[in-house]
Structure 1
Amino acid sequence: MAARSRATSINHLELLGILAGLQLNCAGTPILKYVSESVSSTAMTWAKGRGNIPWTVFQTLRQIKVITDTLSEWKVTHVYREGNRVVDALAALQSQIGSIFFPSSKLTSEIENFLHEDKDGINQIRIPRC
């Protein structure tokens, strides 16, 4: 999903992504356990209610807490940006077709391959940048 944002920082944007995932997958459903992933260790810390949290993200954190309080188990984990090929490819596709939502028929074969690899648990190699 791509859209305009009310984010005050890149870490706030990551929190909004965590919130959107929770809203799409957990709100009003009988899901008891859920894992959120973020490329931002700072956003992960804030989502857990720790660290030096700026006031500008409190409302987003409250919304996350309302949903996560309904779950028996919730954790947020770090994923390296390089390992998030599906999101990067979807963002690039969205910028090409100019739509916020697009049907699955618009998915490229590359994105479909990434999704299959993710589903099958195939790890992506992280190549450190020099």
Structure 2
Amino acid sequence: MVAHKKHKQEILNNILNVIRGRLTHLQLNDIKNNRNMKTAENFGLACIQGEKNPEFCFWSRPEQGEMKINTDAALDEDEASIGGIIRDHLSQVHAMFSVRQKKEEIHILELGAILHDITLALAKGFKKVESDALIAVNVIKENWDCPWKAISILIEIKATLALIKEWKISHIWREGNSAADYLSKPACCCLREDIPTNLMPQELANIVALDAGHSYLRL
């Protein structure tokens, strides 16, 4: 008996139909923007306009004697890149990087950014890691399963963290991660694996100064 081989489009349609079947009884309770309306349309959901209260977030300094690193990754149609910055309790910058990458899934790039930064920071006595990559942070903390394509990166991250006596990792919203966000952009003007602090662009210096005591509005 010959097994029936399904066309990949048929398999995809079957998967989507199962998803739609599981979601049809749900309502998308969120802001009525184009992205949410499109999601509701694709999966046959009722979209209810929700109220979202603005909140504030900020970059918090590490404790005295600690280093904090912030990382981010960026991906568009043509390019991919990662960036990171290491600061002390006085907001003084000790290291930073901005590196182009081959195009990959964003969570893999974000994990790669964390690996690059903790490797760079290992000899500088850092204790805290902060990233606006929620998936990456939860994968490292083992709250979520690691995507199979990123397992090798996760192994390297954990091996590097094992060399550090004390470390913490946390998530920060993008609005409070402006310095790393700046360095992760493909258009960043200082692409290097270890950027000398005396070559810091003025725009980044302004962000670092603003971070020291500014709260950012998250809509």
TM-score by length of 1: 0.75
Taking structure 1 as reference, are residues 14 and 113 closer, same or farther at Cα in structure 2, changes over 3 Å only? same
The aligned residue for residue 19 of structure 1 is 115
**Equivalent pair of 2:131/2:177 in contact (CA under 8 Å):** no
**After superposition, where does 1:80-119 map in structure 2 within 5 Å?**
80-91=173-184, 95=187, 97=189, 100-101=191-192, 104-105=198-199, 107-108=201-202, 110-118=203-211
The aligned residue for residue 218 of structure 2 is 127
Give how far 1:75 is off: 1.6
Cα separation, 2, equivalents of 1:106 and 1:34: 23
Cα separation, 2, equivalents of 1:96 and 1:54: 29
Unmatched runs of 5 consecutive residues or more in structure 1 = none
The structure whose RCO (Cα within 8 Å, separation 6+) is larger is: 1
CA distances 1:97-125 after superposition (whole Å, capped 9, x unpaired): 4x5226644612x321221233x3x1432
**Equivalent pair of 1:3/1:100 in contact (CA under 8 Å):** yes
Q: Secondary structure at the match of 2:99?
A: coil
Instruction: Count residues in correspondence.
Output: 120
- The structure having more radius of gyration, on CA atoms, is 2
Identity %: 26
Cα separation, 2, equivalents of 1:91 and 1:6: 13
**Equivalent pair of 2:100/2:191 in contact (CA under 8 Å):** no
CA distances 1:46-84 after superposition (whole Å, capped 9, x unpaired): 112331211111110111111111122212111111122
Give yes or no for the alignment of 1:57 onto 2:150.
Answer: yes
**Equivalent pair of 2:182/2:188 in contact (CA under 8 Å):** no
Comparing both structures, which one devotes a greater share of its residues to helix? 1
**Cα-Cα RMSD:** 2.5
Unmatched runs of 5 consecutive residues or more in structure 2 = 1-96
Give how far 1:22 is off: 0.5
Give how far 1:8 is off: 3.5
Give how far 1:126 is off: 2.4
Comparing both structures, which one devotes a greater share of its residues to strand? 2
Taking structure 1 as reference, are residues 54 and 7 closer, same or farther at Cα in structure 2, changes over 3 Å only? farther
